[in-house]
């Protein structure tokens, strides 16, 4: 965005000054970019670059006084000439965060996502190990296809229950306690699974771990969003997806290392316990969310003055020692005013209001995306990647596990590409291109099992194509659309329904894949997924809007209420 600054013509010389402004003026989100009056002692000459030829007129006392009163920033994207005050306050406030205070409130909650991804990657190898007569190390290794499906999808059923639980207790516990509870459930689930003496205890451990996933996936984005500087909030939340994908890759690595060990599945599942312990200690060391403390006060569930003092102390720990009391007090008061205004203007909608008017349109878009995200085969490809590769010709478990590492690494790289490009290319182009690639990949997998069985690398290439296109489309963009699309009045309940839809369909597809593979054969299963992908592509083309560059209010007024 080009920026120009015009000074009034000084009467003595008639000279015109050309000034370059700092990058802060480019950070205003569209379409709210507007001119700002830069006045007062806070704006110094070190913030402006003045060419030597034009410096002398600025030193003229009359010209300087006039310029001081009338200096404006104009952008070519905005024609209006409005004045605004306090343009630099937000940036100054944001700059008060120390590096450690920015990183730690992101890393420890994001470990919850890494542990979710780790479970996906580790399960891929563990399902082979636990089902193998030579590698299981148990007398109950001869599991049916339904039992094997429960091992793979047990954590997802737990996550479904955890999502329901989070909806009921999250505001009562607070984000920090919710994430500490999730870490405790991760630890107990990992240890129960790793030490399981029989199949029933194994499934109990998988369910416990899954409840931790449900709580972590709810609490982590809330804590990150409420405690990080606004200037980098979007970047950090996007990078949480990279933690999930990094966890998948790490799970593949551990699975590859332990796949030939007798009882290796116990180590695969149990290795997440020390990671969860780090998450628990880290969350214990962090302060509660200041915004949550203020929310409780506004809700009448805590003394206002006491909660404001607690919020002040929490904010001081987050910003670091350099933040002044005035900056802290101003931010607390601003947050408190915003929360009060939100409660006064728009009460939280009921569950039934999600299915009315603009909210129904939003749920059709968001819920449809997270549903197709799962029923196009994504859980099956990830959870059963090693099994698919074994069938494709990588006869030993270790060979298949090593190729799974390659798939996980590729997934990680493609996620990074999507995070970098989503605001440049837009949501719709990435979705349409990605879902098209997913459809081609699924048809290739079906063709391999039908007519191309002599070319095992076709299966590997199809898996890589599937993973890459998924990470450019359904992976990050579905959740981005869900966070953008719901109106404020029903946003909380709408997102909860979307999460339940995601975990429910994920668990169902994962559970059904193994029986379907036995009944229909892998070729027909992937043909079924390919047909569903064609429907998903049609759904995206007809229903999913482009929200790039739009504020949440504009999405509601221009898209949902059309």
Where b means 16+ CB within 10 Å and e means fewer, 213-230 reads bbbbbbbbbbbbbbbbbe
Q: What's the mean pLDDT in 466-483?
A: 84
Q: CB–CB of 256/123 below 8 Å?
A: no
- Quick one: 97-286 is in which CATH superfamily? MFS general substrate transporter like domains (1.20.1250.20)
**Helical packing angle, 427-450 and 474-485, nearest 10°:** 140
Report the range of poorest mean pLDDT among 16-20, 252-256, 514-518.
16-20
Angle, CA 427 vertex, CA 422 and CA 428 arms, to 5°: 140
DSSP conformation class of 135: T
Q: What's the mean pLDDT in 531-542?
A: 95
Distance, CA of 440 to CA of 425 (rounded, Å) = 22
Q: What's the mean pLDDT in 463-469?
A: 88
Taking all residues of the chain, what is their mean pLDDT, rounded to a whole number? 75
Task: Classify residue 317 as exposed, middle or buried by CB count within 10 Å of its CB (0-12, 13-18, 19+).
Answer: middle
pLDDT of residue 146: 81
Q: CB–CB of 253/122 below 8 Å?
A: no
Helix (H) or strand (E) holding 117: helix 99-131
**Half-sphere CA count of 195, side-chain side, radius 13 A:** 7
Backbone angles phi, psi at 247, to 5 degrees: -65, -40
* pLDDT surpassing 90 at residue 439: yes
Looking at per-residue pLDDT, the higher value among 421 and 107 belongs to 107
Looking at per-residue pLDDT, the higher value among 288 and 317 belongs to 288
27's tokens: 């950070």
Distance, CA of 129 to CA of 143 (rounded, Å) = 12
Q: Read off the pLDDT band of 503 (50, 70, 90).
A: confident
pLDDT of residue 90: 36
3-state SS, residue 426: coil
**CATH fold for domain 353-561:** Growth Hormone; Chain: A; (1.20.1250)
Looking at per-residue pLDDT, the higher value among 490 and 453 belongs to 453
Task: Classify residue 40 as exposed, middle or buried by CB count within 10 Å of its CB (0-12, 13-18, 19+).
Answer: exposed
Percent of the chain clearing pLDDT 70 (strictly above) = 70
Report the range of poorest mean pLDDT among 23-32, 190-199, 317-326, 543-552.
23-32
Q: Read off the pLDDT band of 399 (50, 70, 90).
A: low
Q: Read off the pLDDT band of 235 (50, 70, 90).
A: low
Q: What's the mean pLDDT in 328-338?
A: 79
13's tokens: 């010389």
pLDDT of residue 32: 44
pTM for the structure as a whole:
0.68
Q: What's the mean pLDDT in 36-52?
A: 38
Among 304, 299, 302, smallest CA distance to 343 is for 299
Looking at per-residue pLDDT, the higher value among 191 and 503 belongs to 191
Backbone angles phi, psi at 72, to 5 degrees: -135, 150
Among 200, 204, 125, 191, smallest CA distance to 396 is for 125
402-412 pLDDT, tens digit each: 666 777 788 88
Q: What's the mean pLDDT in 279-296?
A: 88
Q: Read off the pLDDT band of 222 (50, 70, 90).
A: confident
pLDDT of residue 319: 76
Distance, CA of 277 to CA of 272 (rounded, Å) = 9
Distance, CA of 521 to CA of 310 (rounded, Å) = 60
| CATH 1.20.1250.20 residue ranges for the chain | 97-286, 353-561
Q: How far apart are the first and last CA of the chain?
A: 29
Distance, CA of 529 to CA of 443 (rounded, Å) = 9
DSSP conformation class of 137: -
Highest-scoring range by mean pLDDT, 25-39, 141-155, 337-351: 141-155
pLDDT of residue 488: 57
**Helical packing angle, 456-472 and 427-450, nearest 10°:** 160
Where b means 16+ CB within 10 Å and e means fewer, 179-195 reads bbbbbbbbbbbbbbbbe
């Amino acid at each position: 965005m080009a920026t120009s600054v015009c000074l009034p013509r000084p009467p003595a010389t008639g000279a015109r000054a050309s000034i370059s402004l700092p990058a802060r003026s480019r950070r205003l989100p569209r379409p709210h970019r507007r001119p700002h009056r830069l006045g007062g002692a806070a704006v110094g000459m070190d913030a402006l670059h003045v060419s030597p030829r034009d410096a002398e007129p600025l030193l003229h006392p009359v010209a300087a006084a006039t310029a001081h009163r009338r200096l404006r920033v104009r952008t070519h994207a905005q024609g209006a000439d409005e004045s605004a005050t306090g343009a630099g306050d937000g940036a100054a406030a944001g700059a008060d965060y120390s590096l450690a205070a920015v990183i730690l409130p992101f890393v420890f909650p994001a470990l919850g996502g890494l542990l979710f991804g780790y479970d996906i990657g580790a399960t891929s190898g563990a399902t082979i190990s636990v089902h193998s007569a030579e590698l299981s190390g148990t007398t109950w290794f001869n599991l049916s296809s339904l039992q094997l499906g429960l091992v793979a999808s047990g954590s997802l059923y737990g996550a479904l229950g955890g999502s329901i639980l989070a909806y009921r207790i999250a505001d009562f516990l607070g984000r920090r306690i919710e994430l500490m509870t999730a870490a405790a459930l991760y630890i107990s689930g990992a240890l129960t699974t790793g030490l399981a003496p029989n199949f029933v205890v194994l499934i109990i451990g998988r369910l416990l771990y899954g409840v931790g996933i449900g709580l972590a996936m709810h609490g982590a984005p809330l804590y990150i969003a409420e405690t990080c500087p606004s200037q980098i909030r979007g970047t950090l939340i996007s990078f949480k997806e990279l933690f999930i994908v990094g966890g998948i890759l790490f799970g593949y690595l551990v699975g590859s290392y332990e796949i030939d060990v007798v009882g290796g599945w116990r180590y695969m599942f149990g290795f997440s316990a020390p990671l969860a312990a780090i998450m628990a200690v880290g969350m214990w060391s962090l302060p509660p969310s200041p915004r949550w403390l203020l929310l409780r006060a506004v809700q009448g569930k805590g003394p206002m003055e006491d909660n404001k003092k607690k919020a002040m102390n929490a904010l001081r720990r987050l910003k670091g020692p350099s933040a002044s009391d005035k900056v802290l007090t101003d931010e607390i008061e601003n947050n408190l005013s915003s929360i009060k205004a939100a409660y006064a203007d728009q009460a939280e909608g009921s569950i039934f209001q999600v299915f009315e008017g603009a909210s129904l349109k939003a749920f059709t878009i968001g819920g449809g995306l997270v549903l197709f995200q799962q029923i196009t085969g994504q859980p099956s490809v990830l959870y059963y990647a090693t099994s698919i590769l074994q069938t494709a010709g990588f006869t030993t478990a270790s060979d298949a596990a090593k190729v799974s590492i390659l798939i996980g690494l590729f997934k990680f790289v493609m996620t990074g590409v999507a995070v970098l490009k989503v605001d440049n290319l837009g949501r719709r182009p990435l979705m349409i291109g990605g879902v098209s690639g997913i459809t081609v990949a699924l048809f290739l997998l079906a063709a391999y099992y039908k007519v191309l069985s002599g070319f095992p690398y076709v299966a590997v290439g199809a898996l890589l194509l599937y993973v890459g296109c998924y990470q450019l489309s359904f992976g990050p963009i579905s959740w981005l659309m869900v966070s953008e699309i719901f109106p404020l009045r029903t946003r909380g309940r709408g997102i909860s329904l979307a999460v339940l839809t995601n975990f429910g369909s994920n668990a169902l597809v994962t559970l059904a894949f193994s029986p379907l593979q036995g009944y229909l054969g892998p070729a027909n299963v992937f043909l079924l997924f390919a047909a569903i992908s064609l429907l998903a592509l049609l759904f995206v083309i007809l229903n999913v809007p482009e929200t790039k560059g739009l504020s949440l209010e504009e999405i509601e007024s221009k898209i949902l209420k059309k």
